[in-house]
Amino acid sequence: MEAVKSVEALESLRHNILASRDEKQAIITICCGTGCLSNGSLKVAAALKNALGRAGLEEKIKIKTTGCHGFCERGPITVIEPEGILYQAVGRKQLEKDVTDIVEALGKGEEPVTRLLYKELETKQTVTHYHDIPFYAKQRRVALRNNGIIDPKNIEDSLARGGYGSFAKALRMEPEQVIAVVKDSLLRGRGGAGFLTGQKWELCRRSQGFPKYLICNGDEGDPGAFMDRSIMEGDPHSVIEGMLIAAWAIAGGQGPIQGYVYVRAEYPLAVDNLTMAVKQAREHGLLGKNILGSGFDFDLTINRGAGAFVCGEETALIASVEGRPGLPRTRPPFPAQSGLFGKPTNINNVETYVNVPSILEKGSDWFKSIGADKNGGTKVFSLVGKVNYTGLVEVPMGMPIREVVFGIGGGIQGGKKFKAVQTGGPSGGCIPESLVDLPLTYEGLSQAGSIMGSGGMIVMDNETCMVDVARYFLGFVTEESCGKCTPCREGTRHMHDIMERICAGEGREGDIETLERMGKAIAAASLCGLGQTAPNPTLSTIKYFRDEYEAHIRDKKCPAGVCKALIKYRISAEACTGCGVCKRNCPVEAISGEKKAVHKIDEQKCVKCGACRESCKFDAVIIE
Amino acid sequence: MSENTSADGKKRGSVLIVGGGIGGMQAALDLAEGGFKVHMVQRDPSIGGLMSMLDKTFPTGDCAMCMISPKMVEVGRHPNINIMTMADVREITGIPGDFKVKVHHQARSVNPLKCTGCGECTRACPVRNIIRIPERPVPPALPPEWQTLLNETVEAYGGAATSLISMLQDINTRLRYLPQEMLSNLAFKLDLPESHVLAVATFYNAFSLTPVGRHVIEVCSGTACHVKGSRRMIDRLREQLAIEPGCTTKDDRFTLRTVNCIGCCALAPAMRVDGEVYGYVKISELPKILKDHP
């Protein structure tokens, strides 16, 4: 591939690619994001290829592997283009038959395979087309615009969708103009803190010292959030383009700038796809020296993280890129003044960068109009937990939580009762059912005692113990605290010890008050964001679910039936059919009973692993 | 010390205090007031220790010098205290109550009785700022294949010390852990302090300093997996394998770990065995998954 030497050459390349493509070409796209991969999408792709070969349709129908569609719950997701027919859970039960049926229906131009189509949960009606499924219909895709549509390993796919066009546009603008547009769009940091992106760029542009550095924060550490992973895997070229625009805005016409992408160690596929994308962009002259003949130089290095949550904090991330342990430091000086290797550095989240090309393409007013007051654009949430349709959803800022959980997520699994939704990971809080009409904005969430965070949204039902959730997050920060400052290192450990005691049925009067007092002290005295926000899950659950804490402490009961020390398993005599499945699955032989007679659990032997309850088909094992 | 009588039954009335910091001084004063003869050994030219270098103290913010200087004067003046500066203990023999201590006293070359501490001699001395760093000892030799791996890895990143994390990752991937000798040699090659390399290797979760088992089980303990019961999964595995998370079974077959989130929240509860993801795992399926990995 010869490097593209000018903006005009890029446009003509795009034109050629589009001209060589037939809009009516039948394509089977298969999602190969991490979720669908583990559901076996590679096997589906191979089987489809064979089936097409057998039917002699190899020429007529193409196969494309794409990034994440977001509907991970129903994976592997397969979409037939150009009609947009969505087949779900292909090959999970009967691979060969599914694949043969799909190819047959396509080859003969018949009706789609009904049994693989999406079915409405309540009405059981099938929905044929992608865009009619409520999960997708209520979303607004900006950051995920190319996810699931393009093949992330093929730059031509990206170019055909307008990739690098916004960068070409930016090159014709003054860097200050670019900053003004981004500032005006009200795009705020998608990593969670919500700082105005344009303002951050402006600060960095005004700082003296070269080379400047540009870092993309892909260290998505919040447990329960995976949008950055999906974007890096499914649309790496948009990340590169966003960074190119930022680089031009920050250092264009001033001096040299160098880029880094810091990707979490647990995301090998994201590293592969990004590495491939960077290589292709270099070959096309979109990274490197004299990009598009503008005289502007920019290149990217990909750094793998090594499994430390605190490295998502910008100063810790910088320390890690420099090859040191990821310990945060006090600010100021801010990275915009003195960051990587002591030079002005701009750090943004993956999702923030990916929004930038769309803003330049369609204008700041368009972006502003999508969101709510002071919150421009959309936000991707990873809707997970006890909800029917888990996956990635992108919605306009300001959408009420109810709409996301019930409208898009299809409500609570098994028709159970909705209890709370947790946002912001270990730094966020739990929002109770009473506040479910809260709009999803930075301000709205922080008023409720939570934060936007990177966009994890974990739905909880009445079988989730809020005390256990708070303990879980405290355990998490205790492990992940880097140990540099005392309030975070010692304080979270003590809070965790108290929580462990409460969950073990040894809670004491006054524990709740101690937790509250300690929480406030840790939040006030810690050095970095990790410590300052570490007590949030605990404080917010105490605020909204104090009765559950009291039940644990005073009555020694776990209302949700989660805390092992406070529950007992029992087999209901009415429901038990004596099938013996529980007996076979019990690891400690605590269950006795003759075939077809009611079984019994020996409390002395029971280790409360829950294998019996999970394997019982008649819901006969109950928790007391 | 529970006894203060020696083998011959006689009591000895003197105490040796090693170190003349704030703790040592307070102990010396208490003992001296109680009627004991105190010998204080201090390596530095003056008593006072670390506290004399501090400004404010945590948590009250009190001035360190205000606390320590009256004590220094008192210790210096007390008739029961004998201060030995520029000295260190070389040998201790005897039993509780009757110790014999050999103290090595460095030459001061200044007569302390006449010296007023004016500092003129330091200003006049022409020899200064000479730092003597002992030559770095060469680390133990590596087996040839490790040496090749080390050379290749360092070369791949152009020997840049800033790429230390990536180098460690590559070595960790190849050997499945970071052997101590490897770290020493890497530090030597990059001319970094060994403590720095070790600090990085122990800070990040991705590195293991001990060999891992043939199969690595990583149970996701992200929030989504947690609310769907990953803790019970860990408990079951812990019981079945009889190891704690982070440990390896005795037969080197399995290493059990928990990871914060593998980003497969939609498949919760999820786990990974040797990199392969298992979604919607049921507790009752665990024995079979283990069995599939001999």
* Residue for token pair 């109680």: B34
Which chain A residue lies closest to B232 (C-alpha atoms)? A609
A18 neighbors A74 (Cβ within 8 angstroms): no
Between A220, A306, A309, which is nearest B206 by CB? A306
Torsion on CA atoms A272, A277, A278, A280, rounded to nearest 10? 130
pTM: 0.83
E-assigned strand segments in A251-293? 257-263
**Interface contact flag, B260 A476, Cβ < 8 Å:** yes
Distances (CA, A) of B187 to A341, B192, B200, B206, B229: 21, 5, 11, 19, 43
Q: What residues in A contact B244, CB-CB < 8 Å?
A: none
B40 neighbors B83 (Cβ within 8 angstroms): yes
Q: What residues in A contact B164, CB-CB < 8 Å?
A: 323
A610 neighbors A557 (Cβ within 8 angstroms): no
A212 neighbors A255 (Cβ within 8 angstroms): yes
A67 neighbors A147 (Cβ within 8 angstroms): yes
pLDDT tens across A256-266, in order? 999 999 998 88
Q: Given CB atoms, is A146 within the 8 Å cutoff of chain B? A: no
CA atoms within 13 A on the CB side of A495: 38
Which chain B residue lies closest to A390 (C-alpha atoms)? B266
Torsion on CA atoms A266, A269, A273, A278, rounded to nearest 10? 30
Q: What residues in A contact B240, CB-CB < 8 Å?
A: 587
Those of residues 154-193 in A touching chain B at CB distance below 8 A are none
Question: Does an H or E element contain B175, and which?
Answer: helix B164-175
**Interface contact flag, A385 B164, Cβ < 8 Å:** no
How far apart are the two ends of chain A, measured CA to CA in Å? 67
With b for 16 or more beta-carbon neighbours within 10 A and e for fewer, the A602-622 pattern comes to: eeeebbbbbbbbbbbeeebbe
A272 neighbors A261 (Cβ within 8 angstroms): no
What one-letter code names the amino acid at B34? G
- Give the pairing of strands B215-220 and B254-259: parallel
Give the full edge-to-edge strand order of the sheet including B276-278.
B254-259, B215-220, B271-273, B276-278
CATH 3.40.30.10 is held by the domain B215-291: yes
Is the pLDDT at B9 greater than 70? The verdict is no
* Predicted pLDDT of residue A25: 86
User: What DSSP designation does A225 have?
Assistant: -
A454 neighbors A419 (Cβ within 8 angstroms): no
User: What DSSP designation does A408 have?
Assistant: I
pLDDT band at B11, cuts 50/70/90?
Answer: low
Percent of chain B having pLDDT more than 90?
A: 53
Q: Given CB atoms, is A265 within the 8 Å cutoff of chain B? A: yes
**Interface contact flag, A223 B279, Cβ < 8 Å:** no
Write out residues in chain A with pLDDT < 50, as ranges: none
Q: CATH for B14-109?
A: 3.50.50.60
pLDDT tens across B216-270, in order? 999 998 888 988 889 889 998 998 899 999 899 999 899 999 988 887 888 889 9
- Give the pairing of strands A257-263 and A300-304: parallel
Between B203, B228, B270, which is nearest A325 by CB? B203
Q: Which of B172, B284, B286 to mutate to test the interface with A (most CBs of A within 10 A)?
A: B284
**Interface contact flag, B263 A384, Cβ < 8 Å:** no
**All structural domains of chain A:** 24-137 (3.40.30.10), 155-366 (3.40.50.11540), 378-461 (3.10.20.600), 466-553 (1.20.1440.230), 568-623 (3.30.70.20)
Domain ranges within chain B, ordered by starting residue = 14-109, 144-203, 215-291
Instruction: List the alpha helices (DSSP H) in A150-267.
Output: 155-160, 165-171, 175-184, 197-206, 227-234, 236-251
Q: Given CB atoms, is B280 within the 8 Å cutoff of chain A? A: no
B40 neighbors B80 (Cβ within 8 angstroms): no
What are the tokens at A584? 């076979």
- In 3D space, the residue among A127, A124, A44, A116 whose CA is nearest the CA of residue A87 turns out to be A116
The whole-angstrom distance between residue A290's C-alpha and the CA centroid of its chain comes to 35
Distances (CA, A) of A473 to A448, A453, A459, A464, B227: 18, 14, 15, 14, 11
For chain A, what is the largest distance between any 2 Cα atoms, rounded to a whole number of angstroms?
83
Those of residues 187-206 in B touching chain A at CB distance below 8 A are 196, 199-200, 203-206
**Interface contact flag, A266 B222, Cβ < 8 Å:** no
**Interface contact flag, B224 A610, Cβ < 8 Å:** no
**Interface contact flag, B268 A390, Cβ < 8 Å:** yes
What are the tokens at B166? 């990536």
pLDDT band at B3, cuts 50/70/90?
Answer: very low
* Residue for token pair 């130089």: A297
**Interface contact flag, B227 A229, Cβ < 8 Å:** no
* Predicted pLDDT of residue A23: 83
Distance CA B261, CA B167 (A): 24
Alpha-carbon dihedral sign for residues A133, A139, A140, A142: negative
Which chain A residue lies closest to B202 (C-alpha atoms)? A325
**Interface contact flag, B203 A482, Cβ < 8 Å:** yes
Q: Given CB atoms, is B153 within the 8 Å cutoff of chain A? A: no
E-assigned strand segments in B42-135? 81-84, 87-95, 98-105
Is the pLDDT at B78 greater than 50? The verdict is yes
Domain B14-109 identical in fold to domain B215-291: no
* Residue for token pair 């070790």: B198
- In 3D space, the residue among A451, A425, A426, A427 whose CA is nearest the CA of residue A438 turns out to be A451
* Predicted pLDDT of residue B128: 76
Distance CA A465, CA A419 (A): 10
β-sheet bridge partners, residue B256 = B217
Q: Given CB atoms, is B221 within the 8 Å cutoff of chain A? A: yes
Count CB atoms within 10 A of the CB of residue B66. 9
Q: What residues in B contact A39, CB-CB < 8 Å?
A: 267, 279
Q: Given CB atoms, is B223 within the 8 Å cutoff of chain A? A: yes
Q: What residues in A contact B223, CB-CB < 8 Å?
A: 223-224, 384-385, 422, 425, 456, 458, 469, 472-473
**Interface contact flag, B223 A472, Cβ < 8 Å:** yes
Helix, strand, coil percentages (3-state) for chain A, rounded to 5, are 45, 15, 40
Distance from CA of A307 to the nearest CA of B (A): 5
Is the pLDDT at B5 greater than 60? The verdict is no
pLDDT tens across A537-573, in order? 999 999 999 999 999 999 999 999 999 899 999 999 8
